[in-house]
Structure 1
Amino acid sequence: MLSLNEVHEMTGPFRTAVIGLGSMGYGIAQSCLRDGLVTHGFDVVPSQVERFQCEGGAAGSLHEIARVLDAAVIVVLNAEQTEEVLFGDKGIVPEMRKGSVVMACATVPPQFARDMEARCNAAGIHYLDAPISGGSARAATGQLSVMASGSADAFTAARPVLDAAAETVFELGDAAGAGSAMKAVNQLLAGVHIATMAEALTFGMTQGVAPEKFVEVISQCAGTSWMLENRAPHIVAGDYTPLSQVNIWPKDLGIVLDIAKSASFSAPITAAALQQYLAAAGMGLGREDDAAVAKVYARNAGLTLPGDA
């Protein structure tokens, strides 16, 4: 437990807290630490916090250090968790010093991002709408893409974190919402590409195309995609360690469809992909890597994927 005097002595180097040490958040925390930022890591899983502190992460409870943070990076699952971290019973915004910044990275509806910006600004806290893309490996090496929007002051306040964690920062506007809108576009494509990769790989199997040969050939042809090249090898290896879970996609594609509905826009391909992820979750695969959506196709076609008995 830190004393009040110890907390008051926490000045000098830029100090950040990464809240949510999942595959992406942990990588962001590592990148901030490697770049020389004093970095605290927090998660609902105590072992993740302990692991990060063993790697050099700063100690202290979130309540203790909130008042001296320059930036709080929120890398949780969804809008509900983001709001809870910021404004819940133990929310950090009321404890943060004026002029500090919240960098919110979860995939959320644009209107939610605008609402959070207004509430943070009312408390004297900057808010950067900053969804991320690139996967856990790129998070760990500081090479993420960030689709960000917010005031000039919010960008300035978050710049040390952006420099540490991102290879590319897209500055999409001077108010929250634009970053989340672009992330929705990205997630539409990413979710569809993973499901389509699974469909193509298993379709190939019905025609005698082995999964490893599929990856070898298609990754060099016009039908490839980043998602195909990243996820199809998981199927070939029979390894569904969750670098990105199936459960993410009902949430993210659900957000896409909600936005589309509000815009009177039909998104039938997104809706079809969503059904495959829902089927995968219904098979008990929700916590597996999202490449496990291929198991839906394999089950329906009576195919045996690599690694399956």
Structure 2
Amino acid sequence: MAATQSIPTPVGLLGLNGLALSMVYDLLSNPNYDVRIYDNTKALEKTRISDLGGTFCQHPKDLAADVAYLICFAGKSELEALFFSRDSSVLEVLLCSIMDTNFYNALEDHISRLGRSDLLFVDSPVSASPTNGTKVDMVVFAAGQQEALGRSSSLLHDISDQWFMIPGPLGSASKMQLIHQMLVGLHISAATEAISFAIKQGLDPFEVYNIVKTTTGSSRVFEACVPKVLDNWTVDPLLENLADDLSLITSISRSLQFPLPLSGVAEQLCRKGTTQATLKDKYGYANLMRNHSPDFPLDANTHHGSESLSSQLDGIVLDNRKFPISTIGVVGLGAIATEIATSLLRAGYAVQGYGISERTLPIEGNYLPAQSLAEAVRGTQVLIISVQSAAQVDAILFGQEELMKNLSDNTIIIISSMVPSSYMRALSDKLRHLRGDISLLDAPMGDWTTNTTNGTLNIMLSGDDCTIRKVQTLLLAMAKDISNLKLVQGGIGAASSINLINQILAGIHIAGAAEALSFAARLGLDPNIVFDVLVNTSAWSYMLENRGPQILDADWTPISPLSTFIKAAGIFIEEARQLQLFCPLSSTTNTLYTAVAANGWEDEADAGVVRFWELLTGVSVANSVLEAAQSCISRAES
């Protein structure tokens, strides 16, 4: 007896935007579905869709007849015309357009008046999730009645790479989609601003990408989209759709009188990108780069990635007997200077320290506290300076103590502070004229890689290769592992530039997470659930995952204080001004941090920037988490 062939399930699609087209082709490739479409535009894809077996209907009512599922990408008026007709025979409806709660309330009231209890609704907006490959994944957020979700689960699985069930009534998934799109828009805007800064600095943007994707400034959007932007590829989700989503978000925020300063900037950048789009890249993120770099793409035909310290220096052979290092001068204040001294003592070096409290050194060793700068550098082969600003570096090197006269011949100076790249280049020139035997390395240090353990220094490093070779062992002693040492091409100033790019991205991502979770709380969503969903989607960033728990718990113990980002942003914005670079997102983020710091919280956690929204609106993310937890307990007890 021959096996019976199952009858394909009829699925209707109302509207054909970019996301819908991707879904249509996926469904057409699945023999389990009979695809029917209504679209009142003259879509260029109609012939191809028909050739693949899709059927176009002449009227929305024809589309709705006898389908098991209706997937809607249409606007509100078209949906109302379709759903409020008595002769519709829809069984399940997937509302893939983003709608507000008022729409769903009106829809449910109208369906009730019509007596159509057979209709089941699922609120399931679709998001296109960028990936590292050429394919774009589809992500669906779904909310609604349990029966509707259960009967739709197989279709949801077939049309998406990921789908998330969002607790709550119809409209909850659309709210979740809003928050997701907020962060996607912010992250792509931040990425293009940062990469444009690198290009203006004369750095290889592909090398910058390879380094930053491993740092705390990384995001899933950065990882997936930047290489394609640099190669001028088109990338979904569509820029125009993203701009529309951000416009909806800012419109809703205005109606709620809830400020979204970062999302407002991202909306304007995306909208400007669509107006500048060419026919070639209209539907991609590539044209966003033109907001910052009008002459993009680059003329260079080749690019390289960052190299490890060992691979780049393998060709340089030195006789280190001619440059023995036994004593190192360390001048500085704070945790970084202490960690530098500790690492060197652990490795067996003698350290002459100035400004470092012996009480903060966790181990014993050959530590010689200096009473003056001159004493700190006397007889040393290497001087490491770790202070707060370029002005302090200048005061140490060229101040009243005339340190330059006390430096030994052929001393290597390592600047580990966060300073402008333009300052580092100027300092290199100045030292070359004053003391031609003195070498300089640009080596900002911190805790910025995504796999860092406590007490580990991460080092961005640029300078002359031969000089680096001389202190390679010393550098590895401080970094503990070669993976924590990033060698940057481009000479003095290049390392400071990439360190600054990482800092600005990390700061924007923290503020973006704070804005998104605050808005989620204002929309009535459980911030805990929102956080758990976002870290598993293309809205992920390292800082969202790392600082999100602090925001949820209102824990302002500083992993890094607000003041650190304010300092980094100030340097970035000034450097961008000198380069005539447009950086509205960095400027707006700096304003947020400064406003919060003005309340006396500059030494508390950078995640405390979320208090900007609490101060202005009274909405607390942490309180919303507590209220949601208490609500769950009450339901369980009842």
**Which bracket does the TM-score occupy, shorter chain normalised?**
0.7 to 0.9
Q: Which moved more, 1:290-299 or 1:128-137?
A: 128-137
TM-score, length-scaled by structure 2: 0.42
Instruction: Report the CA distance shift for 1:244/1:19 in structure 2 as closer, same or farther (over 3 A).
Output: farther
1:298 aligns with 2:604: no
Aligned to 2:587: 271
2:345 matched to 1:36? no
- Aligned equivalents of 1:170, 1:278: Cα separation in 2: 31
CA distance in 1 between counterparts of 2:486 and 2:331 reads 22
What corresponds to 2:199 in structure 1? none
The answer to whether 1:162 aligns with 2:475 is yes
1:184 aligned residue: 500
Q: Does the CA-based 8 Å contact 1:27-1:139 persist in structure 2?
A: no
Superposed, 1:190-205 pairs within 5 Å as 190-205=506-521
Q: Select the residue among 132, 139, 142 that pairs with 2:456.
A: 142
Tell me if the contact between 1:23 and 1:243 (Cα under 8 Å) persists in the aligned partners.
no
Q: Cα offset for 1:143? A: 4.9
Residue 68 of structure 1 aligns to a residue whose secondary structure is coil
Please report how far the alpha carbon of residue 254 of structure 1 lies from its aligned counterpart in structure 2 after TM superposition. Answer: 1.7
What secondary structure is seen at the aligned counterpart in 2 of 1:74? strand
Give the Cα–Cα distance (whole angstroms) in 2 for the partners of residues 72 and 102 of structure 1: 5
Tell which deviates more after alignment, 54-63 or 76-85: 54-63
Q: 1:28 to 1:219 in 2, by over 3 A?
A: farther
Q: 1:114·1:177 contact (CA, 8 Å) conserved in 2?
A: yes
Q: Structure 1 stretches of 5 or more lacking a match?
A: 1-11
Amino acid at match of 2:326: F
> If you compute each CA radius of gyration, which structure gives the higher value, 1 or 2?
2
Q: Do residues 116 (structure 1) and 427 (structure 2) align?
A: yes
The Cα offsets for residues 116-159 of structure 1, whole Å up to 9 and x where unpaired, read as 22333332321101123435994854351x22221123312332
Show the counterpart of 1:231: 547
- Residue 430 of structure 2 aligns with an amino acid whose one-letter code is R
2:367 corresponding residue in structure 1: 58
Aligned equivalents of 1:164 and 1:213: distance in 2?
42
User: Structure 2: 5+ residue runs without aligned partners?
Assistant: 1-323, 624-638
Paired residue type of 1:292: G
Q: Is the 8 A contact 2:344 2:474 kept in 1?
A: yes
Q: Which structure ranks higher in relative contact order (CA pairs < 8 Å, sequence separation ≥ 6)?
A: 1
Q: Does the C-alpha gap of structure 1 residues 211 and 90 become closer, same or farther in structure 2, counting only changes over 3 Å? A: farther
RMSD: 2.8
Query: How far 1:51 moved relative to its partner?
Result: 2.3
Change (3 A) 1:38 1:138: farther
Offset of residue 276 of structure 1: 0.4
Q: Which whole-Å CA distance do the structure 2 matches of 1:42 and 1:209 have between them?
A: 52
**Residue 549 (structure 2) pairs with residue 240 (structure 1):** no
Q: Tell me, in whole angstroms, the C-alpha distance in 2 between the residues paired with 1:241 and 1:268.
A: 29
CA contact (8 A) 2:347 2:477 kept: yes
SS of residue paired to 2:413? strand
Q: 1:280 to 1:151 in 2, by over 3 A?
A: same
More divergent stretch after superposition (68-77 vs 89-98): 89-98
Q: Percent identity?
A: 28
CA contact (8 A) 1:130 1:148 kept: yes
Instruction: Determine which of 577, 580, 583 is the counterpart of 1:261.
Output: 577
**Which shifted more, 156-165 or 264-273?**
156-165
Quickly say closer, same or farther: Cα 1:216–1:116, change in 2 above 3 A: same
Cα 1:243–1:302 change in 2 (3 A) is same
Q: Secondary structure at the match of 1:69?
A: coil
Offset of 1:217 from its aligned partner? Answer: 3.4
Could you tell me how far apart the structure 2 residues matched to 1:55 and 1:207 are?
A: 55
Structure 1 Cα separation of the partners of residues 454 and 340 of structure 2: 6
Amino acid of the residue matched to residue 456 of structure 2?
A: G
Q: Give the SS at the match of 1:270.
A: helix
Runs of 4+ displaced beyond 6 Å: none
